[in-house]
C-alpha cells in the first residue's frame, strides 16, 4: 500500500513562500472576503496541474486501517465479482459504508485532493442521484452533507466505471473519508488519493498545432453530470468522446469540489486539447449554496465577496434578475459601480481569475459567457435562442432612482466591455485565451481585437419549417454568417478560436420536454437530415480557420461524433486521435465556383458615369477618389447623413419594377462591397445600412430573411453584403437604405441572375465543398480538379451516411444538393513552409510600442513576436493575426531600450526562422538597471545566488525564516512570481527557489526599487534536492540558516509510509 505525502503544518507559511504564493492577510479596514489565492497568473507565466499519488488501496493487503461500518460491506475474495486482482470491497446492501481516517490516508489540512475509485454496480436498488457516494468529514463538516457527497450516477442499468472527485480540506487535521452505498450491491476497488499540485513555468505561446477539421464542443457539465442527465451512457464514454475534440468549452470552473474531469482526464487522453471553463462575465450566479466548510466551492467563495453596491439595480433598488435563468443577477460592471476600499467589481473579478482560477493549472483560457458589449438581452422576459425580442426592464446605473435611457445603457455597456477586456489583456498578455459568448459573433473591430474568439451556439443558417426542413427561399442568412466569420478573422487576436455549434433543433424524435435553455428537446438519435446539417456546417466552417461542433439541440445535450471528424489513411473513419486533422493544412483561402448558370445582369464599380441600367440607380451618393477611402479602382461612392431621426431611412440604391422588372420565380444574387467611415453610437431598430430585394408577394418574415443588414456599425468595419433569394412575384425591387447617421463607402454593386455558386477550400489531403444555394449544384470534373489540379479525389468510405460517403473515386463530377456540403479526400499536396517576415518597423506612443511588418510568404497562420529589455533574454511574447501583421506591446518601461524579433508559423504550429532583431527605445530618463550575469541551475527548494551588477543600492540580510519577498528594496521574480530573498549585496542576491517550478527553464528577473532588470533564462534541475549555491559571506550565512530550515522542512514534508 502506498502511503502519503506528509505535510508538517508548522511549515505552512514557509511552504506558501517556497511555492511563490504571497499570503493575503486580513486588515482592520477590509470588508471584502476575497476568494482563496493559489498563485498569480501573469503575462509571463503559466500553471500546469499535476497529481501526486499519496494513498492507494486495492484490498490485496492490509485493510485494518479501514472502518467497515456494517457486516454488509466486506472484502470479497474468490467470488468472481472482483474488479481487479484477487480481492475487492463489496457492498451488499444500501446505506452501508466504510470509513478512512487521517491516520490511514494521511490527508492533510489546507490541501486540494482528487480521489478516484473503480466500481461495478451488480444489482440495482436504492434511490437518489448516486449509486455510491463519497464524502469527507472534519470539524464543521458532515460526510452526509448533500453538497459534500458525490458519486457515479444511479443509472437505470447495471454498469461499471471509474469515479473521481475533488475536495479542498479545511484547517482541521482530523479528516475522514467515507464511501457509502446508496444502491443494493456494488463492488469497489483501486481507491486512490492524489495531492493536486500546480506547477509554475514560463508561459508557452498558445499557438494552435492541429490540422483540419478543427473540432469544438460547448459542453456545460462534467462527464459525470452529462451521463447522469442523459442516462444509459457512462461517464467514460462521454469523456472519451469529448477528449477527441480540439476544444472543449463551458466546463465547470471549480477545481476544489465535486467531480470534474476537464483539466486532467481529457488532457490525459488528448494532451493538445484546449479547455475553457465557464465564467459569467458580468452576471453573478447564485446557486443558493455557501462554500463547503468555508473552503471548497470557488463559485460560492467568489459570490461571498460580492458587495451589494456592485449589483446593477432597478430604480426601486431591487437587483436585476434574468427571468429565463432565475438566481442570475446582473452586476454593475460599468464606471458607475462604486469601488469598495478601492476595489471595483471588475478588479475583484480579474483578481479572482488571476489568483484563484488560472493557478489551478487546468485551463487554457476562459469561456466568458454573456460577454455583451450591449445591454444584456436576458434581462428581458424573452428567449434569445428563439430570437424573441423584448423590452428591457428599467435600469438605474448610478443609483439615483432614475432609469437610464437606452442610449446611455448602450454607451455604458460598450465602454465597460472595452475596459474589462483591456485590463485582462494587460494582466495576462497573450498567455490565456479570452473566449467570448454573446450569442452572435461581433463585427465591430474594437470589440473583436479585445478577444481571441467567440462561441456561436445554436446555429441554423437557414429558416426552418415546423417539421425541421430548411425553408429554401433564401440563403442570405448563410452569407450573413460568412460575412461575420470573415470580419472576425480579420480582427480577432491570435490565436483565434471561433467555435461554431450547429444544431439539430426540430429534427429527430421529440421527447415532449425542454432543455434548460427552453428549447424543445429530442431523443439522442441521428436521422438523415442531421447528417446534411452537419455537412453544411462543417463545410462552412472549413471555409475559414474555425472550430466546428454539432448538438442534438444545444449545449445541454450529449456530444456527437460523425464520420467526417476523423478519417484514417485508408479513407475509413476511425474514432481516435491519430486520425484527427486528417485534411492537414489549408493550401490557400476559400473561393466560390460560380458555374455557367449564373448570369451577370449589371456590375457597377463607379469608374465610369451612368453605369446603372435604366430603371436603377443610386440616390444621395457622393463620388470619391480619395485613395484612403476607395474600395477598388479609382472611385467609389459615399452615402452619408447626420440628421436622420430614429425610424427614418435614406434611400441609397434602388430599382423601379415598372422600368427594371425582375423576373418572378427566379434566383438572384445581389452583392456590394462596403466600408464604414463613421457611425453614431447605438443600434437603431432597422440597423445601420441594409440592402435587399423587396418582393410584395413575400410574407414579412420571408422579406426580413432576404435582407442583409449591418447591425453593428463602426468606423473601419469592411466587408461584403450579399442577398441570395428566389423571387415570387413580378414586382420585386432592389432597395438599399442608410438607417442611421454616419458615412459608408459602397462599391462593386452587382446583380446576378442565378442561385450563386459552391464554395471550395483545398487542404493538403482533401477538399471541402459547401453549397449554400437554394438548389442543387453540379460540379464538373474540371471544378473538382480545381485550380491546383488535384488528383486521386475520392469520397470518404463511411458508415453513417454511406450514400454520400461511399468511398468511390470522383471521376465525372458530382452533384451537391442545396444547403449541403461534402469532404473529399485527395492525394497529398504539401503546404509551402512559412517564411520569416522582414524586420519589423516601430511606432512609439507613451508606454506602448507598435510593431508592424510586411506579410510573410508560405503557409502562414499567424506571427510570434518575442521581446524583452535589451541585454537580456527575450522572455516576453505577443501574437499577431495573419491578416493583420501588426502588434502593440503595452505597459513598457519608460527610458528603456527593448529588443524584438518576429517569426511566422503555420497551422501545425511550426515556426519559421526569426526576422533580424530590432531595438527601440521608449521616451523617458535613462536609468541604471540591475544586470544579471550568472545564475546556476535552479533546484526546487534550494537557496541560490544571483551574480551581476547594480543588483541593489545597499546590503541586507534576513536572519530568520520565513524570508521576506522584499529585502532592502530588492524583489526576485521567478516566472514572474516573487520569491523569498535571504541576502542582498550590491552585486549579488540570494533567494529561495520555489518548490513548484517545473519545465526545463525558468525566467528570473530582479526589481530594484521599482527598476526591472533584463530577464535571464535559467536551467531547472527538476527533482533535485535542496542545494547550496552561494559564494559571498552574507549569502553564505543566510544560506546556512535557510538550508537548515529547508532541510527540516523537506524531511517532514516528504515522508512516505509503506
pLDDT tens per residue across span 920-946: 999 998 889 999 999 999 999 999 999
Mean pLDDT, residues 81-95 taken together: 91
Q: How confident is the model at residue 1010 (pLDDT cuts 50, 70, 90)?
A: very high
pLDDT digits (tens, 9 = 90+) for 109-131: 999 999 999 998 887 765 555 67
Q: At which of 753, 781, 799 does a domain end?
A: 753
Percent of the chain with pLDDT over 70: 92
* Residues 219, 196 share a domain: no
pLDDT of residue 1000: 94
The C-alpha cell that represents 185 in the structure block: 450491491
Q: Is residue 18 assigned to a domain? A: no
pLDDT tens-place string over residues 703-716: 888 899 999 999 99
Domain of 883: which CATH number?
2.60.40.10
Per-residue pLDDT band for 154 (boundaries 50, 70, 90) equals low
More reliable by pLDDT, 401 or 524: 401
Last residue of a domain, which of 579, 613, 641? 579
Specify the DSSP class assigned to residue 809. B
Rounded distance between C-alpha atoms, residue 160 and residue 929, angstroms? 62
Domain count of the chain? Answer: 6
Task: Give domain status of residue 345, yes or no.
Answer: no
**Do 201 and 42 form a contact (C-beta atoms < 8 A)?**
no
Clarify whether residues 748 and 765 are in a common domain: no
Its domain, for residue 635, covers 599-753
Tell me, yes or no, whether 549 and 615 share the same domain. no
- In this structure, the answer to whether residues 411 and 449 fall within a common structural domain is yes
The arithmetic mean of pLDDT across residues 984-1004, rounded, is: 96
> What pLDDT does 993 receive?
96
Same domain, residue pair 518 and 402: yes
* The predicted structure's pLDDT at residue 231: 66
CA distance 441 to 956: 55
Contacts of 996 (CB under 8 A, 6+ apart): 19, 20, 197, 198, 199, 200, 940
Specify the pairing of strand 938-939 against strand 1016-1021: parallel
What stretch of H or E contains 705?
Answer: helix 700-705
Residue 141 inside a domain? The answer is yes
Answer yes or no: is 1039 within a domain: yes
Greatest mean pLDDT among 406-415, 593-602, 1025-1034 lies in 406-415
79 vs 890, residue with greater confidence = 890
Comparing 18 with 148, the larger pLDDT belongs to 148
- β-partners of residue 117 are 163
The three three-digit cell numbers of residue 759, written as one number: 464554395
Q: Is residue 798 part of a domain?
A: yes
In a domain, 413, yes or no: yes
End-to-end CA distance of the chain: 6
Q: Are residues 607 and 626 in the same domain?
A: yes
Q: Which of 130, 116, 122 is nearest to 83 (CA)?
A: 122
Q: Same domain, yes or no, for 875 and 944? A: no
Average pLDDT of the chain to the nearest whole number: 89
Residues 475 and 520 in one domain: yes
Domain-ending residue, one of 703, 725, 753? 753
Same domain, 375 and 512: yes
For the stretch 336-387, pLDDT in tens is 999 999 999 999 999 999 999 999 999 999 999 999 999 999 999 877 777 7
Whether 308 maps to a domain, the answer reads no
- Residue 133 shares a structural domain with residue 180: yes
Task: Residue 334: name the closest of 429, 401, 399 by CA.
Answer: 399
Residue 252 scores a pLDDT above 60? yes
pLDDT at 148: 85
pLDDT at 1058 over 70: no
Residue 61 sits in a domain whose CATH number is 2.60.120.260
CA angle 306, 307, 308 (to 5 degrees): 120
Q: Give the neighbor-by-neighbor strand order of the sheet with 886-889.
A: 841-845, 848-852, 886-889
Query: Which grid coordinates are listed for 428?
Result: 495576462
With beta carbons less than 8 A apart as the criterion, state whether 189 and 82 touch.
yes
Do 565 and 675 belong together in one domain?
no
pLDDT of residue 127: 56
- Tell me the per-residue pLDDT of 139-149, one tens digit each, with 9 for 90 and over: 989 888 888 88
Say if 959 falls within a structural domain: yes
pLDDT of the residue at 10 = 33
CA-to-CA distance for 306 and 300, rounded, in angstroms? 10
Radius of gyration (C-alpha) of the chain in whole angstroms = 31
- Least confident interval from 153-167, 289-303, 834-848: 153-167
Q: Based on the fold, state whether residues 49 and 68 are members of the same structural domain.
A: yes
Amino acid at each position: 500500500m502506498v502511503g502519503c505525502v506528509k505535510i508538517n503544518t508548522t511549515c505552512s507559511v514557509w511552504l506558501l513562500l517556497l511555492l511563490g504564493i504571497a499570503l493575503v492577510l486580513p486588515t482592520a479596514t477590509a470588508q471584502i472576503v476575497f476568494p482563496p489565492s493559489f498563485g498569480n497568473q501573469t503575462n509571463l507565466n503559466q500553471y500546469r496541474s499535476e497529481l501526486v499519488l499519496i494513498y492507494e488501496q486495492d484490498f490485496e493487503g492490509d485493510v485494518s486501517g479501514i472502518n467497515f461500518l456494517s457486516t454488509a460491506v466486506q472484502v470479497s475474495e474468490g467470488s468472481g465479482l472482483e474488479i481487479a486482482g484477487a480481492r475487492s470491497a463489496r457492498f451488499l446492501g444500501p446505506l452501508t459504508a466504510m470509513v478512512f481516517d487521517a491516520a490511514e490516508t494521511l490527508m492533510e489540512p489546507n490541501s486540494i485532493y482528487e480521489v478516484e475509485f473503480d466500481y461495478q454496480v451488480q444489482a440495482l436498488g436504492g434511490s437518489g442521484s448516486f449509486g455510491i457516494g463519497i464524502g469527507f468529514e472534519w470539524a464543521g463538516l458532515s460526510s452526509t452533507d448533500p453538497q459534500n457527497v458525490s458519486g457515479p450516477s444511479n443509472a437505470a442499468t447495471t454498469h461499471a466505471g471509474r469515479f473521481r472527485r475533488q475536495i479542498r480540506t479545511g484547517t482541521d487535521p482530523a479528516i475522514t473519508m467515507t464511501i457509502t452505498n446508496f444502491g443494493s450491491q456494488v463492488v469497489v476497488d483501486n481507491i486512490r488519493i492524489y495531492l493536486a499540485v500546480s506547477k509554475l513555468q514560463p508561459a508557452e505561446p498558445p499557438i494552435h498545432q492541429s490540422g483540419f477539421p478543427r473540432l469544438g464542443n460547448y459542453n456545460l457539465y462534467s462527464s459525470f453530470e452529462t451521463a447522469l442527465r442523459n442516462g444509459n451512457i457512462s461517464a467514460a464514454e462521454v469523456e472519451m468522446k469529448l477528449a477527441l475534440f480540439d476544444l472543449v468549452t463551458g466546463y465547470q470552473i471549480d477545481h476544489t469540489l465535486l467531480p470534474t474531469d476537464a483539466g486532467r482526464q481529457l488532457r490525459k487522453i488528448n494532451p493538445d486539447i484546449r479547455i475553457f471553463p465557464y465564467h459569467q462575465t458580468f452576471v453573478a450566479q447564485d446557486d443558493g449554496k455557501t462554500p463547503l466548510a468555508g473552503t471548497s466551492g470557488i463559485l460560492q467563495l467568489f459570490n461571498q465577496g460580492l458587495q451589494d453596491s456592485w449589483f446593477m439595480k432597478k430604480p426601486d433598488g431591487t437587483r436585476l434578475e434574468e427571468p429565463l435563468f432565475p438566481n442570475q443577477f446582473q452586476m454593475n460592471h460599468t464606471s458607475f459601480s462604486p469601488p469598495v476600499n478601492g476595489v471595483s467589481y471588475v478588479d475583484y473579478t480579474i483578481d479572482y481569475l488571476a489568483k484563484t482560477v488560472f493557478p489551478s493549472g487546468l485551463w487554457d483560457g476562459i469561456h466568458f459567457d454573456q460577454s455583451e458589449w450591449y445591454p444584456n438581452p436576458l434581462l428581458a422576459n424573452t428567449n434569445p435562442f428563439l430570437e424573441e425580442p423584448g423590452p428591457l426592464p428599467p435600469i438605474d446605473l448610478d443609483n439615483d432612482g432614475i432609469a437610464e435611457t437606452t442610449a446611455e445603457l448602450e454607451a455604458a455597456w460598450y465602454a465597460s466591455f472595452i475596459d474589462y477586456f483591456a485590463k485582462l489583456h494587460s494582466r495576462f498578455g497573450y498567455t490565456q485565451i479570452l473566449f467570448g459568448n454573446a450569442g452572435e459573433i461581433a463585427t465591430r473591430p474594437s470589440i473583436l481585437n479585445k478577444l481571441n474568439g467567440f462561441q456561436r451556439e445554436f446555429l441554423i443558417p437557414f429558416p426552418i419549417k415546423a417539421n425541421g426542413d430548411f425553408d429554401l427561399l433564401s440563403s442570405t442568412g448563410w452569407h450573413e454568417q460568412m460575412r461575420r466569420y470573415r470580419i472576425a478573422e480579420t480582427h480577432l487576436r491570435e490565436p483565434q478560436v471561433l467555435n461554431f455549434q450547429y444544431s439539430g433543433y426540430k429534427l429527430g424524435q421529440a421527447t415532449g420536454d425542454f432543455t434548460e435553455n427552453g428549447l424543445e428537446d429530442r431523443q439522442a438519435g441521428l436521422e438523415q437530415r442531421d447528417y446534411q446539417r452537419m455537412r453544411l456546417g462543417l463545410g462552412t466552417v472549413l471555409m475559414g480557420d474555425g472550430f466546428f461542433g454539432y448538438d442534438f439541440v444545444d449545449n445541454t445535450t450529449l456530444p456527437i461524433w460523425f464520420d467526417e471528424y476523423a478519417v484514417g489513411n485508408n479513407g475509413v473513419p476511425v474514432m481516435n486521435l491519430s486520425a484527427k486533422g486528417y485534411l492537414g493544412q489549408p493550401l490557400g483561402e476559400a473561393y466560390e465556383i460560380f458555374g455557367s448558370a449564373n448570369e451577370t445582369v449589371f456590375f457597377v464599380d463607379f469608374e465610369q458615369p451612368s453605369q446603372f441600367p435604366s430603371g436603377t440607380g443610386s440616390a444621395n451618393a457622393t463620388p470619391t477618389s480619395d485613395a484612403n477611402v476607395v474600395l477598388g479602382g479609382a472611385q467609389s461612392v459615399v452615402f452619408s447623413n447626420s440628421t436622420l431621426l430614429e425610424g427614418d431611412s435614406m434611400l441609397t440604391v434602388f430599382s423601379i419594377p415598372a422600368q427594371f422588372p425582375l423576373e418572378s420565380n427566379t434566383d438572384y444574387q445581389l452583392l456590394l462591397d462596403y466600408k464604414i467611415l463613421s457611425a453614431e453610437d447605438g443600434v437603431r431598430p432597422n440597423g445601420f445600412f441594409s440592402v435587399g430585394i423587396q418582393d410584395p408577394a413575400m410574407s414579412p418574415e420571408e422579406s426580413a430573411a432576404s435582407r442583409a443588414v449591418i447591425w453593428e456599425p463602426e468606423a473601419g468595419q469592411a466587408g461584403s453584403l450579399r442577398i441570395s433569394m428566389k423571387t415570387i412575384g413580378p414586382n420585386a425591387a432592389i432597395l438599399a437604405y442608410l438607417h442611421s447617421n454616419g458615412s459608408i463607402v459602397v462599391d462593386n454593386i452587382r446583380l446576378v441572375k442565378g442561385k450563386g455558386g459552391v464554395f471550395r477550400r483545398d487542404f493538403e489531403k482533401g477538399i471541402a465543398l459547401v453549397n449554400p444555394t437554394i438548389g442543387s449544384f453540379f460540379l464538373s470534373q474540371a471544378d473538382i480538379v480545381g485550380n491546383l489540379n488535384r488528383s486521386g479525389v475520392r469520397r470518404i468510405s463511411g458508415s453513417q451516411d454511406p450514400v454520400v460517403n461511399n468511398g468511390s473515386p470522383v471521376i465525372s463530377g458530382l452533384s451537391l444538393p442545396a444547403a449541403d456540403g461534402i469532404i473529399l479526400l485527395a492525394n497529398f499536396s504539401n503546404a509551402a513552409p512559412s517564411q520569416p517576415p522582414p524586420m519589423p518597423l516601430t511606432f512609439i506612443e507613451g508606454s506602448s510600442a507598435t510593431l508592424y511588418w510586411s506579410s510573410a510568404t508560405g503557409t502562414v497562420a499567424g506571427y510570434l513576436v518575442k521581446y524583452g529589455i535589451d541585454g537580456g533574454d527575450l522572455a516576453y511574447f505577443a501574437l499577431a493575426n495573419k491578416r493583420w501583421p501588426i502588434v502593440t506591446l503595452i505597459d513598457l518601461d519608460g527610458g528603456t531600450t527593448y529588443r524584438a524579433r518576429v517569426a511566422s508559423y503555420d497551422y501545425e504550429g511550426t515556426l519559421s526562422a526569426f526576422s533580424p532583431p530590432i531595438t527601440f527605445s521608449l521616451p523617458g530618463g535613462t536609468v541604471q538597471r540591475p544586470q544579471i550575469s550568472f545564475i546556476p541551475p535552479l533546484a526546487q527548494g534550494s537557496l541560490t545566488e544571483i551574480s551581476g551588477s547594480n543588483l541593489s543600492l545597499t546590503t541586507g540580510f534576513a536572519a530568520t525564516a520565513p524570508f521576506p519577498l522584499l529585502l532592502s528594496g530588492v524583489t526576485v521574480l521567478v516566472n514572474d512570481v516573487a520569491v523569498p530573498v535571504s541576502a542582498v549585496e550590491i552585486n549579488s542576491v540570494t533567494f529561495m527557489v520555489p518548490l513548484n517550478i517545473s519545465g526545463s527553464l525558468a525566467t528570473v528577473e530582479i526589481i530594484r526599487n521599482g527598476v526591472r532588470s533584463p530577464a535571464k533564462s535559467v536551467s531547472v534541475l527538476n527533482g533535485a534536492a535542496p542545494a547550496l549555491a552561494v559564494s559571498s559571506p552574507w549569502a553564505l550565512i543566510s544560506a546556512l540558516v535557510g538550508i537548515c530550515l529547508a532541510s527540516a522542512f523537506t524531511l517532514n514534508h516528504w515522508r512516505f509510509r509503506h
